[in-house]
Structure 1
């Protein structure tokens, strides 16, 4: 009975975040597909689904959507963990529509701004022209935005410790030879924090102290 009860709770949790787990399911399918591709074909295939300058100039909507459906590393399990820890709680808290709005804002704006900066670097001769076809797929910008917006789910003063950790994770790379991707990640964090209007009226902030007190009781 305990096993059945545990499975029921897991299923209830998954049903509370349908967007998260449908997206994760798509990533599982595409990751399996990548593993069955010839190695010499895989990179070319992913480039066609990248948010690089070449693909954005051809069909920006298709490029932005397609790039969010693939994992460049080919490792799905770490993303299953990250989606469960960050995306699922955010969707259950905000609702699917608002959660999706945060994801879309972070993914689209961070992708366009970082690629715009790369284009300017190419024009000024600071980056090679070949960079227009850089491999750039993945879900990390959306994830960074959601990680940031979750700060509003946590009560003060715990919120500030969380924000400090998030700032360190995404900000330190900017101080050590930043890439355009690093800039995109940090921008996605700022975009997530800018989504404060979406969190209003979404219930009381979680207080870790109250949770610990309840466990002790």
Structure 2
């Protein structure tokens, strides 16, 4: 069993190759490592934890059943995130009986929250700063929130983000993130200036 500290892209490639050959142990390792990661990602599109759990169990079952037809992806992580995202949107569409698009006009939300360890500023008004930053994150577009999550929470490359978010070019992923960061900086600067002149 591979510990998460020792888990790497090389481990992914090896486990994936073994999965394609029908190795149940390799499938178990991929499941144990990626189920929590995919759950954290998918739960940001819907608050229905049961729907996400059911979808992921179905997703992994299908992955194992279709293993012989799988090809070796460049990045197992981004492949699984793309596939799980697509499947989740089909589940949401079926549950809501409304069409859900994978592109800019998504009819689903994307919740992006600060994790406790992401709050680095230790000042007298730490809670106020956290609330302000959360408000600013909430003001981002759905696509910006998702891109920020993938880049800074999942440490994915711009190439992987473009692939997951179905962007035609990698530069669009960069632009999306830069614009989100610029918007955050601008909003925070405005609030800080307003506090100084109170």
Shorter-chain TM-score bucket reads 0.3 to 0.5
TM-score scaled by length of structure 2: 0.35
Greater RCO (CA < 8 Å, at least 6 residues apart) = 1
Higher helix share: 1
